[in-house]
Structure 1
Amino acid sequence: MFDAGGVLTRPIGGRWNPRYDFEAIVAAHHPQVRPDRFPDAIASGQRFLDAASTTPDRTDYHRTILAALGIAEPSQRLLRQLRAPAAGPVIELYPDVRRVLADLHRRGIRMSVVSDNWAGLEATFAGLDIAHYFRGFAISEVLGCRKPDPRMYAEGSRLLGLEPHECLFVDDDPQLVAAARALGYQAVTLDRDARSGPAGQVITSLDELAVS
């Protein structure tokens, strides 16, 4: 069971939300908005996400940022453009992902994705040509809850047809890994910046799964 962002994928442009072309799209509709207002507005959007018990509607998230920019009544055209797929990729795979997923798949290991994300992640992964490796996707917006809610983990293991103790959960957030262990899952933290970590608790590359 894999988390997505920070484990399998990373954002192009250096941030997850909003996507890399957010400022350019808004500026095309509202050129009067000063560029120096975007950082505080984006921080307001992040607080909105953090306060929600599940992944909120993407348009509500965009409205929060736009309101902080002084755009109280954004046009439907602007909102549609922000919600539409970007002109280019917004995320990319870490270098170790494709070879490790292929190796685990060849070994007959069942895999699922458990991610605090908006609906549509499966299509994004299909575009990256890795969706076929997974039995299914447990997505917070779809389930109406976020990790560490037990329902997220339970859906991930249900998709695999396995009991919690038969599953290994991989996430880059140690608190979410601890929550999985408390529910009876095997779990490890992926810390790509660490040189090493406690054996059986921290890995620094997905390659460590391929040899386990």
Structure 2
Amino acid sequence: MLKLRLLTWDVKDTLLRLRQPVGLSYAAEAQARGLQVQPEALSRSFRAAYRAQSHRFPNYGRAEGLSSRQWWVDVVKQTFRLAGVHEDALLSLMAENLYRDFCSARNWELLPGASETLSRCHRRGLRMGVVSNFDNRLESVLAQCNLRQHFHFVLTSESAGAAKPDPEIFRAALRLGGVLPEQAAHVGDDYSRDYRAAREAGMHSFLLRTPGQSSQPEVPPGHILPTLSHLLAVIEEG
């Protein structure tokens, strides 16, 4: 059994996932303003806008003095522009509405086993924290989804000034948890940003692999979680 004192968690696609594709949410906002824009076109535009903004201003533009709110508002506006919407007042209204909406529970749902697994880990006496490449809305999202109470701390890339896979965000989590790397483990769904990055910081880590996802040959079978409900059994076998 691993002698763990701290368990850190990724959030998006590990504990929470979007209820519907981004394009559908954006299309519904446009429809409420009298616009018909295809969800598929908006999904493509969002991917392009997000990729370009992330390249130009990494980690929500923190190093360049941007706020994450402004960063996201610009992404939303550019998403609609790429899909053919150009009226500035309308773009600003939709961007502000969507920024606010993605802070609410109505856009997020728990992955199977998330709440039960967190509760069981808490009962086992494990201290828990979040390590996520999210912006400062995450505290509110977790609270609205009834998960915040499980965590001793919530560390976002925006607040840490470092984004996964930079090991510095994991070192910051270890400092917040007051433990040595070998006393901590991280749970996430991304091989490079979660599994490998945590190990490079000296921590243990587990990779959530849902059906249909490609496997990583570098990950021992004992480090793979087919569901979150497998976590405690894997820890006890480690």
Q: Quickly say closer, same or farther: Cα 1:110–1:67, change in 2 above 3 A.
A: same
Q: 147, 168, 187: which is aligned to 1:151?
A: 168
More deviation, 74-83/196-205 = 196-205
The percentage of counterpart residues that share the same residue type is: 26
- Unmatched tracts of structure 2, length 5 or more: 1-7, 62-70
Is the 8 Å Cα contact of residues 190 and 204 (structure 1) preserved in structure 2? yes
Q: How does 1:1-212 map to 2 (within 5 A)?
A: 1-13=8-20, 15=21, 18=22, 20-29=24-33, 31=35, 33=37, 37-48=41-52, 50-51=54-55, 52-55=57-60, 57-72=71-86, 74-75=88-89, 76-85=92-101, 89-176=106-193, 177-193=195-211, 198-211=220-233, 212=236
> What is the CA-CA distance between 1:5 and the residue it aligns to?
1.1
More deviation, 32-41/62-71 = 32-41
The 1-side partners of 2:206 and 2:39 are apart by 40
> What is the CA-CA distance between 1:70 and the residue it aligns to?
3.4
Q: Please, what TM-score do these two structures have when normalized by structure 2?
A: 0.77
User: What's the counterpart of residue 3 of structure 2?
Assistant: none
Local SS of the residue matching 1:193 = coil
Q: What is the number of residues matched between the two proteins?
A: 209
The 1-side partners of 2:120 and 2:26 are apart by 37
Q: Quickly say closer, same or farther: Cα 1:79–1:199, change in 2 above 3 A.
A: closer
The 2-side partners of 1:105 and 1:59 are apart by 37
The 2-side partners of 1:167 and 1:35 are apart by 41
Q: Quickly say closer, same or farther: Cα 1:35–1:127, change in 2 above 3 A.
A: closer
Q: Which has the higher helix share?
A: 2
Q: Quickly say closer, same or farther: Cα 1:166–1:188, change in 2 above 3 A.
A: same
Q: Please, what TM-score do these two structures have when normalized by structure 1?
A: 0.85
The 2-side partners of 1:194 and 1:80 are apart by 35
The 2-side partners of 1:42 and 1:140 are apart by 21
More deviation, 135-144/69-78 = 69-78
Is the 8 Å Cα contact of residues 55 and 144 (structure 1) preserved in structure 2? no
Is the 8 Å Cα contact of residues 8 and 93 (structure 1) preserved in structure 2? yes
* CA RMSD in angstroms, aligned pairs only: 2.6
Is the 8 Å Cα contact of residues 3 and 170 (structure 1) preserved in structure 2? yes
